[in-house]
Every structure is written in C-alpha cells, then in structure tokens.
Structure 1
Amino acid sequence: MSTVGVRHHQLFIDGAQIDAPDHYEIISPATEQLVCTVAKGTVAHADAAVAAARRAFEEGSWSRKPPHERSQVMRAIADRLGEDSEQLCELEIAANGATLRQAMAFLVGYAAPHFLYFAEQAASYPFESTVATAAYPTASSNRIHRDPIGVCAAIVPWNFPLLLGIWKIGPALAAGNSIVVKTDEKTPLSLLRLAEIAHECGLPKGVLNVVTGDGPEVGAHLASHPDVDKVAFTGSTAVGREIMRLASGTVKRISLELGGKAPAILLDDADLDIAVDGALFGCMLYSGQICESGTRLLVPDALHDEVVERLVARAATIRLGDPADFDTDMGPVVSARQRDRVLGYLDAARRDGARVALGGGAPDGAQFERGFWIEPTILTDVTNDMTVAREEIFGPVLCVLRYSSLEEAVAIANDTPYGLTAGIWSSDPERAIEVAERLRAGTVWINNWHQIDPALPFGGCKQSGLGRELGQGALDEYTEPRHVHVDLTTRLDRHIFDALLSEPPAGR
C-alpha cells in the first residue's frame, strides 16, 4: 500500500518526537483505506523512554514539584483535552472504528473530565498525614508520607486508548511519577497527541513518554524492565497473566484490568421497555468491544419469548454505517482479525446448539464489501457451559440464557472465571440491591450500564484483574507509604532499651 502523501506520526520520548526505521500502517476499520503511518517502536526505544523517565524523576522537575503546582499543569492539560475534543474524536474514529456519537460521549467525551478529576486529586490527596498512636510503650509522633513510586509503565489496549491511557497517566502524574505509555499498534494516535498537549501545557520533558511497538516485544520488555517500578495494564486475561509473570522478576507493583463476561439479570418485575433497550446498550455499544459489556442476558422462563421478540425487533433498528456519520449507531469491529474471531465464535455457537435469532454474520450491501463488519447478533438457547457463554467474544453478540429461579440466576451469573461487572434490571430497587450483594463483580449496575464515574473505583475480581482504577483511592496505586516515627521520650530510663540492655549505663 502506497504511503506517498500520507501523514506520518513519530514516537514521543523525552519531550521530542522520535522516528524509527520501520512503521505501522493505520488502516480504517470501516473502509480498509490507509489513514496514516506511525513509527514502529523497538526495545531500544522503550529503553530510551524508561531512561528519560528515570532521569526526570530523579532530577525532580515533576516528582518534587509541590502538589498544587502539579495540579495547575494538569488542569491546563484537561482544558486542552476539552478544547481539542473534535480533533481527538477524528483520531479515535479513524483508527478504531468507533462511531462519532460514541466517541463524543465516551472515548473522548470522558477524557477531559476524568483527567480533571486527577488534577483535582493532585491538590487534595493526603500526601502527608498524622496518625494518632497510643503512648505505650513510649510517646511518639507518627506521620505517613505517600511518595511517588518512580517510573511507571502503562500498557493500553486498542478499544479506549485515550480514556484508558488517562486512567493510568492521570494518577501517575498526580502522584509525581514519570510514565512510559505503550500504545496498541492499531490505535496510537490520540495518546501521541495527548503527549504533545501535555508538554505544550508545561509538563517537563521525560515525565510522559509514548512508544508504540509489538506487545510481545516492547510491552513484555517494559513489564520486566528493572528500572520500571510499576506496570498498569488493561487487556486480555491471558496477557495479564504474562504481565504478572514478567513483573515478578523484579517484584514490581502491578495493576491489571482484564477480561469480563458480564451477566445481566432481568428480574420478573423489570420494566421491559427499559430493560430491552438497556440490555442492547449494555452489550452492543461500540460493537461490543468493551470488557465490561453485558454479554450474558439472564431471562426468567416466563418472560423469555417476549423478551427475545422485543430484543430482535429493537436490535434490527440499529443502523450500521460510516462511523463519522452522526446518524450511525454502530460501526465496524477494529480489524480483520477481530472480525474473523467473532465469526469463529458464532460458528462455534451454532455447533454447540445455540440458535441465531438475529444477525449471525457480516451484513449484506455494497457499503460493507470493504471494512470489518459484524451484524448485531442475538443468540438464544444458550447454556452457560457453551463457549460463547464462557469466553469473551468482544463483538456485538448478546447471549440470552433462561433461568427458572432467582437462586439459579445468581448461580449462573457467578459461574464464570471473570468478575468485572454485572447488572440487574428490576422495577424494585430494594430487591435489586439484595441481588447485587450476591454477585461477585467489581461493579454492579442496576437499570443502566456503562456508567463510569472518575470518583468511583473501577476494576474486577477473580480473573478480571487486580487493583482499582479511578476513585478516591486511585493514587494509592501510584504511591508508596513511608512511615516516619519520632520518639518523644527524653529520659533514658523511660525508654524500653532494657529489653536488651539490662546493665545500667556506666556512671548513672
């Protein structure tokens, strides 16, 4: 494919744009046309980025800057993210196929307010606190200092590159760390632009570095790098296990946000108008390419046929088309590989006995001859032991499962290796909350989905990950507590040194 006249993007290391001998071609998922090229980072580039981050951290241009001054710089960055949202939407849509409405609402729309939240945390976080202690065995003053960890590495997926990058960059910077971000090779554009914006707003060079590169090479190198103090990763559970293994060599801190297979329990008292639209929103948003999507809809036997009929009728109205068209509801999946992966799961579902109530393949029509398209798909007659109910498909595929009792519904919901999110559809809030308390998931939504607030923690249990992003404790993941003890006892005979030294001091 010719690259003549196509814009080329470089890496961002130590405050400067750096090119590489090789490059990636960024392809539009909607048209398969060449969008641009991006420098292909290597292990050497990762090493240079880590070295720049370490030097910046040790020099203290950011790590020793007073928190309120860090907050001011970060507020300026947040303002610019809001001002440049139109350009950032274009970059996201071109690379990952999200629709304009979804990019405006979520992928880019969340970026500025979430970054602003961390800017505010930089000013309000308790970096120093006094802890009251008992006078026994001796009176003392005790302070807790929360220090920046050092050099952090963030490995970011392709589906929400800017937003999920900010979930790692924001708390890292607020705490005073330096950071190296490894983008997915398919969607690096918005994070490269963020790095430029940050330095235009006064972030010292070396504090934020962005490299591309293949995951097994560059990502793995960062995870095992002896000069990286923490790794934050969002991606598949399989890769998360490898990140844990690689990080263990230097016992570095890690936080992992991994896969999900979220259950949505529709109770027998649910408002079906809300539940049907909400279930489709929970599963089909961004072509189902969200780790926290509600992909298993659990429906009581008595309502099953009516709910499926309603789901099919509503899902049939979802408009596929040009992601840049404001009227488009759903765009393509991100790549040919992802399209083929989803189609493979649909073939397996048919073999296992599931019934395709809607969709089930690529859409017809001339506009879909190029690009990576999957129809909105509803599967029924799904049982929880089927592959499509066990594994993360990452496509617009909703699996409908029956249940005969609430106890059975809860058991099915929890019968998964994942525990990222779950949901309940009910007209009785108290009853729904009682069910929510029985679900093993990091977030449980009642009568909604995809509601992410930067002030509330997000993350999973079981094989959905370790640690939490967002929330009031987000900076805890990026700081090390240091306890400073000052003994206030002034007389030797009041100390407890005689636990070792039984003889009185000479001359006393």
Structure 2
Amino acid sequence: MTAGTTVRHFPMRIGGHDVDTGEVLEIRDPQNDELVATAASGGASAIDAAVDAGRAAFDDGSWSRATREHRASVLRAIADRLGERLDEMVELEIMANGATVRQATGFHVGYCAPHLEYFAGLAERYEFETPMPRATFPVLGQSTLRKEPIGVVGAIAPWNFPLLLSLWKFAPALAVGNSVVLKPDEKTPLSALEFARIAEECGLPPGVFNVVPGPGPDAGARLASHPGVGKIGFTGSTDVGREIMRLASGTVKSVTLELGGKSPALVLDDADLDVAVDGVLYGCMLYSGQVCESMTRLLLPDSLHDEFVERMVARASTIRLGDTRDWETDMGPVVSRKQKDRILELIASGKDEGATAVLGGGEARVEGHENGHWIQPTIFTGVRNDMRIAREEIFGPVLSVIRYGSEAEGIALANDTQYGLASSVWSADNSRALDVAEKIQAGSVWINDAHQINCEVPFGGYKQSGVGRELGPRALDPYVEEKNVHLDLSGTREARPYDVLLSHADD
C-alpha cells in the first residue's frame, strides 16, 4: 500500500449488525507482508451471540418457512450481485491470500456465482415432501417423508479459497432454510464478511447468515461444540478435522469434513507427454500448490522418467513469479511466513533424506516484494514413497517424482497414502485409463486433466481425506433432517393392533 492509504476495517456480522470487539485481526498481503486491512476478531462469546441470532431468525420463519422459489430467487440475486462486484471481491481475496488475479478471477471468486446459481436450482427442484408407498400391515396407513432444515448450521472455512469453500457449505444450508454461522480463517475473512452484507442487500433476512472471524481454538472450537448448532461443515487439515469431529461428538451433531490430500499423478507409459507435462505442473503448482487436491506426487514409469523430468523442468522454469495483481504473473506467494517456513523445513527434509532438487528448492526473491512469502517452484527426483515430502501434505509448490516399474506397482504407490482426496491418470488409451481409475482409492480421479471441480458432481475424499461429500445433485441432503409423518387410514379402534397390549381393557 502507498503511504497515507487508509486501512479499511471489517466488523463481524451478527444478526444483521456490524459488531466489533476489543480484538482485531491484522490482514497482511502475502506478497509484501504489508498491513492491508483489519477485521474484528471474535471468540466463544461472539459465536454464542451469532448462534442465538441464527436461532431467532430461524424461529421467526421468514427464511426457514419461505417458499423454495423465494429462497432460490434470493440466492440468484446474490449471485448476480457477485458478478457485478467481481473485481472488488477478487481484490478482497488476493490482498489476503496471495492468489494471482488470474487465478482469483477464474477460480477463487469466478466459481462462486455459478455455484450459487447451481444450489438455487437444486433448491427449486428439491423434494421436501415425498409420499411413500401405502402401508397395509399391521393396519392401513400412509407415510410422508418430509425433509426439514436442521436449524443453525456451523461452517468453518480455510484460507486458500475463502469464499468458494465457505459457499459450498453455507449455500446448500441456506437453500433448504437453515440459518448459518460462518467462521472464516482469521487470515482471510474479508470476502466472507463482504458477502454477508451483499446477501442482506439482496433480501436475505438479518440473522440468517452470520460471520465471526476468530482463532480456531476459541471461535472454531466453540462453534463445533455448541449445543445450539445441529451440523458442522469444515474444510481444513486432517489433524484439525479430527478435533472438529471430537468436539461435534459431544452433542452428536453431524459433520461434513473435507480434509487433507497427497494426491498422485499417475503417468502411464503411453501418455501424451506434451499434455501430461503441462497437466502435471498445472495439477501441482496452481496457486503455489496451496490446493487440497494438488497432485504433489508424480508417479513415472521407468521408461519415461528421464525424458519427462527433463521436459517438465524446462517447462516449470518458465513459471513467472511476480505481483499478484499483474495479469502476466503465473504464481504468487504462499499465504504467510509461518506457511513459508513450514514448506522450507519440508524441502530441507527431502534433501536430508536423499532426494534431489532438480528445480528450485528454496526461497524465491521477487523484485519489489522482498518482504513477501515466496517459494521457488520445486521438483524433487529420487523420492521414495516413505519420505516426508511424499507422505505429508506440504501445501506449497513442491512436486515429488517417484519411479515405478509395472502398472500394478504404480497403482499400489498411488494408493499408499493415508489420504484419498483426488488423483489423475495420464494415458493415450482411454479404456486403459478408465480401468486404472477403478483401482485408485480417491474421491475424484481425473483422466488426462487436473483440478476439474464441477459443481454438478460430488467432491470429497476416501480414507483420512474426509467424511461426506460436497457439491453434486445430493448436496442439499446433509443440511436437512428427515421426518416420517404417518397418517392412520384404518379409521376404527378395532382395526388397530392395540389388543397386542390391551386385550383385557374391556374386561
């Protein structure tokens, strides 16, 4: 920021009101570590107030009992407004998380309006009431399956896609009539706070959507354990996901968890190298590797290894680091100094364990942004699947290349991980690739592509990559309770089976 520029402050949004506390979060631009904004920080008491506001709004019924058509129209109005304010929302994202303007416009914010439109369409078509087959035994009766909003839903979102991954939780929750309390990551709350104001401008009743930024161990823990919250949606690390699950178990609330990944890119020996080289780099290096399903393990057959690595290093050497607001920039910084230090420590562990950094391998220097959190695009060869860089989620631009011999060995290596979020398979033979895809233990397997997030299909992971799915045609189901309403049609006491217990009632 230039000297004299005013730092904008963002209050919390609770019950339709701006709320400040005595605590303030400093929002710093990762490319230069400059203070660009502040936001009110809330703890357990702010979460309590937000849950109370959400419950009051739910009980009021102006949203929870509104028609599906009305709720869909409001969601569409919000989507339209997001489109009108795209540039502003992009700026709020990149000033906090370091995404490039190209990436934020295309993905981080660009996906939000169409995904919101998708959820609005689901709401219009959703079967909130379904007649079931008529019962004839033990008596004649008719059951109706009702799907009703849970009440207050909690959403805990990460810093890498602050608005989009929040929206995957709160949009389906809102679509079926719930109130929501969102806790964005304390590093990146700005777009969510602004969204709350946009939503109310477009007709969302006050208190239906509440946003409380704050530390995870305080605000997040209270939200996950709060007895007034009936459902938690969380995206983040597997370690934190385990804690969310533990906290939620105290009140037996349901959870949807989208957690970590160590996704493999399995290149078969007949792959188109021109496509695969660029695709693998896109799969790993997009957004500096800070995507949960990034393809950070590259499995190469012996027959292709040397040529593929040579081509890939040459191609990766053209990735341009620079100002995040420059449309010519390919890669920005990582999100924080803490994240940079962790990535550098893992890079050092790779070298210590015997891997070879054939590209990068350290901190980058970007002219004019010397105080930023920059990591060189890094490619390791000679990696074994038991090394830390092959086992742990680095969340940085670090690719581990692992050799394999037979196809079966490659599949085994792909599955040899605690994670199972995503995978890619690269082959010129579609039938062969589809056969391999069936053997991969992952929630998404992309053939000859990567990062193909489609709101019309479910997204989530196997094993320790999560619980449940987001997106897809059943995306609203986790945010409703199912109720069976049974209507007796027999008409008389004699037709009912009461004499099983009360056979002597008239004696």
Same fold (TM over 0.5): yes
Map of 1:276-291 to 2, 5 A cutoff?
Answer: 276-291=277-292
* Matched residue, 2:388: 387
Is the contact between residue 3 and residue 37 of structure 1 (CA under 8 Å) also seen in structure 2?
Answer: no
Structure 1 residue 494 displacement after superposition: 3.7
AA in 1 matched with 2:215: D
Q: State the partner residue of 1:192.
A: 193
Equivalent residues in 2 for 1:254-403 (5 A)?
254-364=255-365, 366-403=367-404
In terms of mean alpha carbon deviation, does 496-505 or 199-208 score higher?
A: 496-505
What is the distance in 1 between the residues matched to 2:496 and 2:166?
A: 51
Match of 1:146 in 2: 147
Hey, what's the Cα distance between the residues in 2 that align with 1:383 and 1:488? 68
Deviation at 1:368, TM superposition (A): 4.7
Q: 1:118: how far off?
A: 0.9
The 3-state SS of whatever aligns with 2:257 is strand
Q: Is 1:219 aligned to 2:210, yes or no?
A: no
What's 1:7 paired with?
8
Q: Which residue of 1 aligns with 2:124?
A: 123
SS at match of 1:94: helix
2:223 maps to amino acid: L
- For residues 160-201 of structure 1, the C-alpha deviation after alignment (integer angstroms, 9 at most, x for no partner) is 000001001100100100000001111011001100000000
1:392-427 CA-to-partner distances (Å, cap 9, x unmatched) read: 000001111111011111111111111111110111
Q: CA deviation at 1:496?
A: 3.0
Give the Cα separation in 2 of the matches to 1:283 and 1:296: 8
Report the TM-score when normalising by structure 1.
Answer: 0.97
SS at structure 2 position matched to 1:233: strand
Instruction: Detail structure 1 runs of 4+ shifted over 4 Å in the superposition.
Output: 1-4, 503-506
Partner of 1:105: 106
Give the CA deviation at 1:76.
0.4
Note the C-alpha offset of 1:500. 2.9
Pairwise CA distance, 1:109: 0.6
Quote the residue 2:39 is aligned against: 38
Separation in structure 1 between the aligned mates of residue 333 and residue 200 of structure 2, nearest angstrom: 33
* Separation in structure 1 between the aligned mates of residue 377 and residue 271 of structure 2, nearest angstrom: 23
State the secondary structure of the residue aligned to 1:474.
coil
Aligned residue in 2 for 1:60: 61
Aligned partners of 2:297 and 2:402 also within 8 Å: yes
Separation in structure 2 between the aligned mates of residue 365 and residue 67 of structure 1, nearest angstrom: 51
Report 1:149-188 matches (<5 A).
149-188=150-189
1:490 is paired with a residue whose SS is coil
- 3-state SS, counterpart of residue 437 of structure 1: helix
Task: State how far apart, in whole Å, the 1-side matches of 2:247 and 2:171 are.
Answer: 24
**1:365–1:321 Cα change, 3 Å:** closer
Shift of 1:497: 3.1
Indicate if the aligned counterparts of 2:365 and 2:374 stay in contact, CA closer than 8 A.
no
The answer for unaligned runs of 5 or more in structure 2 is none
Shift in Å, 1:491? 4.3
Where structure 1 has 5 or more consecutive residues not aligned to the other structure, the ranges are none
Aligned AA (1:141)? Q
Q: Cα offset for 1:505? A: 5.2
Match of 1:481 in 2: 482
Instruction: Return the offset for 1:330.
Output: 0.2
Partners of 1:34 and 1:184 in 2: CA distance: 17
- Distance across 1 between alignment mates of 2:366 and 2:161: 29
- 1:131-187 alpha-carbon deviations (Å, 9 max, x no partner): 225533333211110000010111100000000010011001001000000011110
Measure the CA separation in 2 of the matches of 1:320 and 1:5. Answer: 28
Structure 1 counterpart of 2:141, one-letter code = S
Hey, what's the Cα distance between the residues in 1 that align with 2:366 and 2:501? 86
How many equivalent pairs are there?
Answer: 506
Task: Please name the residue that 1:80 is paired with.
Answer: 81
Deviations along 1:48-79, one digit per CA (max 9) or x if unpaired, are 11110011111112111111111111110111
Opposite residue 144 of structure 2, the aligned amino acid is R
Confirm or deny that 1:500 pairs with 2:501: yes
Deviates more, 1:123-132 or 1:336-345: 123-132
Identity of aligned residues (%): 58
Aligned CA RMSD, in angstroms, stands at 1.5
Change (3 A) 1:3 1:209: farther
